Amino acid sequence: MPTSFPILLVDDDADVADLLNRIAVTDFPEAVFLHVDSFAQAASYLDNLEGRGPRLVLLDVNLRTGLTGLDFLTLIREHPQGRLVPVVMLSSSQLDTDIHEALNRGASLFTQKPFTYVEWRQYVQNMRLYWYETVTTPNPKFMKGNTP
């Protein structure tokens, strides 16, 4: 298994990033979260990525500025290497339309954001068990400026 497991977190709530990083110290120490908070930042990250990229993307549906997480999902699924990376929607939305739209656009899973610290810890533990210990995720090599 790799010594680090990079995860791109696209969420406009900085508290989510802080919480995931604090929990990961003990419950998923291999995780390295790179947090961006908008479609524009996520698209720029993807366009400027060179070398090994994230092994997983956690993506919120609703981003407060401009385009949405669903728009980024479409972008990453059109990217030659990005389309290989599993994308888990991590959202407070419970709308069937959001769930169906995310899955239709190529999300690997749709998950609800936990509410309590205990639920967040369980989420991170489950994420480690599944994405790090159980499945084999691709490790594509990105080339700068390769965004469609």
Residue 22 within a domain = yes
What distance in Å separates the CA atoms of residue 85 and residue 107, rounded to the nearest whole number? 10
Residue 115 within a domain = yes
Looking at 2-145, which runs of residues are DSSP E strands? 5-10, 31-36, 51-52, 56-59, 87-91, 109-112, 141-142
- Where does the pLDDT of residue 141 fall: very low under 50, low under 70, confident under 90, or very high at 90 and above? confident
Q: Is the pLDDT of residue 66 over 90?
A: no
The number of domains in the chain is 1
Burial class for 49, CB neighbours closer than 10 Å (0-12, 13-18, 19+): buried
Domain containing 74 — which CATH number? 3.40.50.2300
Residue with the bigger pLDDT between 27 and 146: it is 27
Residue 108 within a domain = yes
Residue 38 within a domain = yes
Residue 148 within a domain = no
Taking alpha carbons only, the member of 20, 25, 119, 36 closest to residue 75 is 36
- pLDDT (tens digit per residue) in 3-18: 799 999 999 999 999 9
Which residue is listed with tokens 């947090």? Answer: 35
How far out from the chain centre does Cα 102 lie?
13
DSSP secondary structure string for all residues of 10-36: E-S-HHHHHHHHHHHHHH-TTEEEEEE
Q: Is the pLDDT of residue 2 over 90?
A: no
Taking alpha carbons only, the member of 107, 117, 136, 137 closest to residue 20 is 117
What's the pLDDT at 140?
Answer: 84
pTM reported for the whole predicted model = 0.92
Residue 101 within a domain = yes
Query: How large a percentage of the chain has pLDDT more than 90?
Result: 79
What's the pLDDT at 42?
Answer: 95
What's the pLDDT at 143?
Answer: 80
Give the domain range for residue 55: 5-142
Residue 98 within a domain = yes
Chain mean pLDDT for the chain: 92
- pLDDT (tens digit per residue) in 98-125: 999 999 999 999 999 999 999 999 999 9
Residue 147 within a domain = no
Residue type, 72: F
